[in-house]
A and B are shown apart, each in its own frame.
Chain A
Amino acid sequence: MIMRKGFLKYGYGLAACLAFVMGALAFVSRPGPTPYPLSYPGYFGNRINIPADNPTTMEGVALGRRLFYEKRLSANNTVSCGTCHLQRLAFTDGRRFSIGFDGTPTKRNAMSLANSLWVRNFFWDGRASGLEAQAVTPLTDPHEMGQSLDSSVVKLRAAGSYAGAFYAAFGAAVITPERIVRAIAQFERTLISADAPYDRFLRGEYHFTPLEQEGYELFFGGGPVRSVGCSNCHGGPRTLTETYHNNGLDSVFADPGRAGVTGMAYDRGRFRVVTLRNIALTAPYMHDGRFASLSQVLDHYSDHLAGGPTLSPTLRDTAGRPEPLHLTAGEKKALLAFLNALTDSTFITDPRFSDPKIN
């Protein structure tokens, strides 16, 4: 009896000690989220954008991927981010305007998410600085996904399966609006497209066909054929410089474009220059999806530039008049061949980017 009492006494003490030590150990060595190795070619440059308060982690990306494809984030559980950003179409949806949860079309064409890591200002008018700020708009727009982030929190909590993933990603099982958008942004930063034939050409692993080579030289200049100036705006291996241009679609703009953000007259009809990576997959084209095919886009730059006070100086002659490129049929064919060499089949089939419920 005495023995037993002693054992109990020491037993409790021992258990308490053990619990304390284990707790301390857990506190010290509890593995935080593991950094996600963002790998990309050196020729993309390092002007990447990751906010200090939202580092990209394996756990955050895994959670973000689930959330990207989570239809509970829409008001009637029918739409996820992935509904309008389909991997097989380089994260666009093939429509002129996307259809929200209530059937209402959006005002502008869905943009590709490829290589967003290098983009500083999102949307066609650049109004969101950073992916975190961008994600809030489609999630909460009354016609896109139509649900407040607070409601999304309630629905994810009720789903019951997310606490562990939030804990792993953020060190706390509490689901918050901020953590939802942070996780989605982390996943989007990993959507890097860098394995098109053009990349293999840049790495010295692929020889362009003669037609692709001619298109490449027309596009970037520096070859025996003329430069038509595409790279003035779509420059560098990422095929974009993050600028805003009026590319001569109209003389009078129904959509004010960048001016809607800045209020400046000179920004009327200016829209963000997009990457041409995977461009053959992302039809229809322009902010309003007016061109169904790349041939129509080339015809536009070749023959149909509309004048106007804000037309990009890169599309004007020295007297200020619109200066269409006057492409020959052969030049158009060559440019199309090069544009098709920007299609990255590895990117659109990469299992890391697909819906985790399906793959």
Chain B
Amino acid sequence: MRMLVFAVALMLTTFAEAQTVKVTGEVTKPLTLSAADLAAMPRTTTVAKDKGGVEHSFSGVALRDIFKDAGVTTGRQLRGENLAKYVLVTCADNYQVVFSLAELDSSFTDRVVILADQMEGKPLPAGVGPFRIIVPGEKKPARNCFQVTGIAVKFAKD
């Protein structure tokens, strides 16, 4: 019995530990962000509608703050060939969405896209969390993707 409890506890910790977001690609410092890492970073709150059209408040960390830590070309560096960079977000179910780097940058837009870990002050529900992209003001929620596992900054090379 004790062994069983231990095994279950071990499994739970393994899964809990394993749920992270990897920040890779055109970065000077690749990151593997856990829930605790996000909690310790500057927090941003924003509002977005669910598929029923009801507004909810989401909080998490702005992608631009994550990019600052990872060493992505933002702000004054976002010019010239760096404008050909894009961000590929990958989710646990293999769903992928793309942003151009410029549309996430504060020198280009006031819109703040976040990697949310809370909805209405609570952890995101099963199947959606622990991490989700929230794009405020977007008409369709298709880029508010669930269970984010990776954020890769890439160069368009064609």
Name A's B-contacting residues (CB within 8 A). Answer: 121, 126, 241-245, 263-267, 270, 309-313, 316-318, 320
For chain B, give the interface size range: 10 to 19
- Chain B, residues 26-59, CB within 8 Å of chain A (1/0): the string is 0000000000000000000000001110100000
Docked-complex contact B19 and A266, CB < 8 angstroms? yes
- Contact among A126, A313, A317 for B128, CB-based, below 8 A: A313
How many residue pairs at the A-B interface have CB separations less than 8 Å? 45
Nearest residue (CB) in A for B146 is A313
In angstroms, Cα B147 to Cα A36, docked, is 40
- Chain B, residues 89-133, CB within 8 Å of chain A (1/0): the string is 000111100000000000000000000000000000111100000
In angstroms, Cα B10 to Cα A263, docked, is 13
Docked-complex contact A243 and B95, CB < 8 angstroms? yes
Nearest residue (CB) in B for A121 is B94
Instruction: Report B108 CB to chain A, min CB distance, Å.
Output: 28
- Secondary structure at the A interface, as helix, strand, loop or mixed, is loop
Closest 5 CB pairs of A and B: A265-B15, A318-B52, A243-B93, A313-B127, A309-B126
B3 at the interface (CB under 8 A from A): no
With a CB–CB cut-off of 8 A, which chain B residues contact A318? 50-52, 54
A126 in contact with B51 given A264-B15, A312-B127 (CB within 8 Å): no
A266 in contact with B94 given A310-B126, A318-B54 (CB within 8 Å): no
B4 at the interface (CB under 8 A from A): no
- Contact among B18, B126, B127, B128 for A264, CB-based, below 8 A: B18
- Contact among A241, A264, A316, A317 for B95, CB-based, below 8 A: A241
With a CB–CB cut-off of 8 A, which chain A residues contact B19? 264, 266
Nearest residue (CB) in B for A232 is B142
In angstroms, Cα B94 to Cα A126, docked, is 10
Select the residue from A241, A309, A313 with max chain B CB neighbours within 10 A: A313
Instruction: Report B156 CB to chain A, min CB distance, Å.
Output: 15
A243 in contact with B94 given A264-B18, A266-B147, A318-B50 (CB within 8 Å): yes
Instruction: Report A48 CB to chain B, min CB distance, Å.
Output: 15
A263 in contact with B127 given A313-B146, A318-B50, A318-B51 (CB within 8 Å): no
Can you list 22 residue pairs at the A/B interface with Cβ under 8 Å?
A: A241-B95, A243-B94, A244-B92, A244-B93, A245-B93, A263-B14, A263-B18, A264-B18, A266-B15, A266-B19, A266-B127, A266-B147, A309-B126, A309-B127, A310-B126, A310-B127, A312-B93, A312-B127, A313-B146, A316-B127, A318-B52, A320-B126
Docked-complex contact B94 and A244, CB < 8 angstroms? yes
Nearest residue (CB) in A for B149 is A264
Docked-complex contact A311 and B127, CB < 8 angstroms? yes
In angstroms, Cα B18 to Cα A26, docked, is 58
Docked-complex contact B94 and A267, CB < 8 angstroms? no
Docked-complex contact B94 and A242, CB < 8 angstroms? yes
With a CB–CB cut-off of 8 A, which chain A residues contact B128? 313
Name B's A-contacting residues (CB within 8 A). Answer: 11, 14-15, 18-19, 50-52, 54, 92-95, 125-128, 146-147
With a CB–CB cut-off of 8 A, which chain A residues contact B94? 121, 126, 242-244
With a CB–CB cut-off of 8 A, which chain A residues contact B92? 244, 264, 266-267
With a CB–CB cut-off of 8 A, which chain B residues contact A270? 93
Instruction: Report B131 CB to chain A, min CB distance, Å.
Output: 11
In angstroms, Cα B18 to Cα A242, docked, is 23
With a CB–CB cut-off of 8 A, which chain A residues contact B52? 317-318
Nearest residue (CB) in A for B51 is A318
With a CB–CB cut-off of 8 A, which chain B residues contact A316? 127
With a CB–CB cut-off of 8 A, which chain B residues contact A310? 126-127
Instruction: Report A99 CB to chain B, min CB distance, Å.
Output: 31
In angstroms, Cα B146 to Cα A311, docked, is 13
In angstroms, Cα B19 to Cα A309, docked, is 15
In angstroms, Cα B132 to Cα A313, docked, is 12
In angstroms, Cα B51 to Cα A316, docked, is 10
Instruction: Report A118 CB to chain B, min CB distance, Å.
Output: 13
Select the residue from A121, A266, A270, A310 with max chain B CB neighbours within 10 A: A266
Nearest residue (CB) in A for B132 is A313
Nearest residue (CB) in B for A259 is B15
Nearest residue (CB) in A for B147 is A266
7 further A-B pairs in the complex, CB-CB below 8 A; given A244-B94, A263-B18, A264-B18: A266-B19, A310-B127, A318-B50, A318-B54, A320-B125, A320-B126, A320-B127
With a CB–CB cut-off of 8 A, which chain A residues contact B15? 264-266
With a CB–CB cut-off of 8 A, which chain B residues contact A320? 125-127
In angstroms, Cα B32 to Cα A329, docked, is 49
With a CB–CB cut-off of 8 A, which chain B residues contact A313? 127-128, 146
In angstroms, Cα B93 to Cα A242, docked, is 9
In angstroms, Cα B125 to Cα A129, docked, is 31
Instruction: Report A287 CB to chain B, min CB distance, Å.
Output: 15
In angstroms, Cα B51 to Cα A267, docked, is 23
